[in-house]
Amino acid sequence: MKHHLNYGLAFCLVLGIGALAMGAENEPNPIRTVHANVQMRPGGEFEEVDVPVYESPNSVPNLAAEGVAITDDDLILGVVADGEAVAFPVRFLSSYEVVNGRVGKIPVAPSW
């Protein structure tokens, strides 16, 4: 399922920026919530809230490179494990922040 998290988050997951200035356009509905003591904006105070959770792709396939319109300049997150090398394009990851894939038989969660 493709959805665009139009929060202005882009590549901030690992990067620690957490731009939580949300835009309302195309905003998907959360699939559940988790009650926790967190910040809801960068630099914000911690507060008890129901944190909304949005669906990320599951069972992401590992495609043959020949059939993918990737460019040399595309950034990827690459991993070699269990005898298989897989590159997860950042353009794909950054739409979801985290996805669920598999490298060899190892279940992995690449994130951005």
CB of 75 to another protein, least distance (A): 5
Long-range pairs for 37-44 at CB < 8 Å and ≥24 separation?
42/17, 42/18
The DSSP 8-state label assigned to residue 102 in this structure reads E
Provide the minimum distance between the beta carbon of 108 and another protein in the complex, in angstroms, as a whole number: 6
Q: By rule CB under 8 A, what string of x and - marks binding of each residue 53-92 to another protein?
A: xxxxxx-xxxxxx--xxxxxxxxxxxxxx--xxxxxxxxx
CB 93 within 8 A of CB 111: yes
Q: Write down the least CB distance from residue 24 to another protein, Å.
A: 13
Interatomic CA distance for residues 111 and 84, integer angstroms:
19
Q: Which is nearer to another protein, 24 or 79 (CB)?
A: 79
> What is the separation of C-alpha 38 from the centre of its chain, rounded to a whole number of angstroms?
19
Per-residue binding letters, 23-42, with another protein (x by CB under 8 A): -------xxx-xxxxxxxxx
Q: How far apart are CA 110 and CA 97, in angstroms?
A: 8
How many amino acids of this chain bind another protein (CB under 8 A)?
85
Q: How far is the CB of 66 from another protein (least distance, A)?
A: 10
Give dist(CA 25, CA 66) in Å, integer: 34
Task: Specify the residue, 24 or 73, whose C-beta has the smaller distance to another protein.
Answer: 73
Subset of 5-24 contacting another protein (CB under 8 A): 5, 7-20, 22
